[in-house]
Amino acid sequence: NAGVTQTPKFQVLKTGQSMTLQCAQDMNHNSMYWYRQDPGMGLRLIYYSASEGTTDKGEVPNGYNVSRLNKREFSLRLESAAPSQTSVYFCASSGQQGLASPLHFGNGTRLTVT
């Protein structure tokens, strides 16, 4: 059982380039999330999708867009990368909408923007 799978694992971009981070879960979870993790800042929510067809902004959405492609997949797009977006990005999923369900994380994408 793979759980939450993120691709790519590593990426280096130049300022202004674009890219899409992919995430897929096989746990039949309704809710999916994108976080970034930076030293001294902890995990910060970028966007989340409570269910298929809905997306909402989190704490730090500027510079990002998301797509909930289907129940399994939730992608994060950087349209014009900036050095401030250098970070480790984690995708997560959780079970039932509206209930307190723990998050299950992927192993992250390490992004460097030069």
Partner 1 sequence: QKEVEQDPGPLSVPEGAIVSLNCTYSNSAFQYFMWYRQYSRKGPELLMYTYSSGNKEDGRFTAQVDKSSKYISLFIRDSQPSDSATYLCALLIGGYQKVTFGIGTKLQVIP
Which parts of this chain interact with partner 1 (CB under 8 A)?
4, 31, 33, 40-43, 45, 48, 50, 58, 90, 92, 94, 97-100, 102-108
Which residue lies nearer to partner 1 by CB, 47 or 81?
Answer: 47
Which residue lies nearer to partner 1 by CB, 53 or 102?
Answer: 102
Residue with tokens 């902004």: 57
For residue 77, give the nearest of 31, 22, 25 by alpha carbon. 22
Which residue lies nearer to partner 1 by CB, 53 or 98?
Answer: 98
Closest separation in Å from C-beta 103 to partner 1? 6
Who's near 27: CB < 8 A, 6+ residues apart? 1, 3, 4, 93, 95, 104
Closest separation in Å from C-beta 85 to partner 1? 19
Q: What distance in Å separates the CA atoms of residue 109 and residue 23, rounded to the nearest whole number?
A: 10
Closest separation in Å from C-beta 78 to partner 1? 20
Q: What distance in Å separates the CA atoms of residue 62 and residue 103, rounded to the nearest whole number?
A: 23
